[in-house]
């Protein structure tokens, strides 16, 4: 549906880029939804969590590719960005937390901890609060793909 490519250094030069990009893309994909304002807000929040996670945890240099697609009621967000094995492991551990029985407990602990938020916080929020299905894959030796599949709207309503 839509794809944007940015230099990771440019993207990560300013925290507000997360909000600007998520709000823009959310408006673009919400125009034909049953409640476009509600959908745009939900979509923007979910995408913002993904982008903020990448902002915090990413490789040194390269390109950030963001693509969004829709098939029926399923919205798919793909982020491809620079990541070495250590960074990939951070994402793997965060996603593994979501598959456990205590995902909600881990999310609440991460949410209410003092100090710097855990790198997994945004991904835990997406899994617990939004019911997102998150997956990751390696793309070559120095990149990874983070995928979030979300159902934010019931097509039958």
Q: Please say whether the beta carbons of 89 and 104 come within 8 A.
A: no
pLDDT at 156 over 70: no
User: What top-level class would CATH report for the domain 2-150?
Assistant: alpha beta
Q: Span 135-149, mean pLDDT?
A: 95
Rounded to the nearest integer, the mean pLDDT of the chain is 92
pLDDT single digits (tens) 39-51: 999 999 999 999 9
Q: Which is higher by pLDDT, 125 or 141?
A: 125
Write down the pLDDT at residue 155.
63
Q: Which is higher by pLDDT, 23 or 110?
A: 23
pLDDT at 109 over 60: yes
Q: What percent of the chain has pLDDT over 70?
A: 98
Write down the pLDDT at residue 10.
95
Write down the pLDDT at residue 133.
96
Burial string for 117-146 (b: 16+ CB within 10 Å, else e) reads: ebbbbbbbbbbbebebbbebeeeeebbbbb
pLDDT single digits (tens) 68-106: 999 888 999 999 999 999 999 999 999 999 988 899 998
Write down the pLDDT at residue 1.
79
pTM comes to: 0.92
Give the CA count within 13 Å in the CB-facing half-sphere of 134. 28
Write down the pLDDT at residue 82.
96
pLDDT at 157 over 60: no
Nearest to 121 by CA among 86, 87, 85, 94: 94
């Amino acid at each position: 549906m839509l794809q944007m490519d940015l230099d990771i250094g440019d993207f990560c030069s300013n925290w507000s880029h997360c909000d600007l990009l998520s709000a823009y893309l959310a408006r673009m994909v919400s125009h034909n939804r049953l409640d476009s304002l509600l959908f745009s807000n939900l979509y923007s929040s979910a995408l913002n969590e993904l982008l903020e996670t990448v902002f915090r945890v990413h490789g040194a240099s390269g390109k950030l590719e963001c693509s969004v697609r829709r098939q029926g009621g399923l919205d798919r967000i793909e982020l491809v960005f620079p990541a070495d094995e250590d960074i990939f492991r951070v994402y793997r551990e965060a996603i593994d937390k979501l598959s456990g029985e205590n995902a909600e407990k881990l999310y609440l602990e991460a949410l209410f901890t003092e100090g710097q938020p855990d790198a997994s916080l945004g991904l835990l929020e997406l899994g617990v609060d939004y019911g997102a299905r998150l997956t990751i894959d390696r793309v070559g030796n120095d990149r990874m793909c983070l995928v979030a599949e979300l159902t934010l709207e019931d097509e039958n309503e």
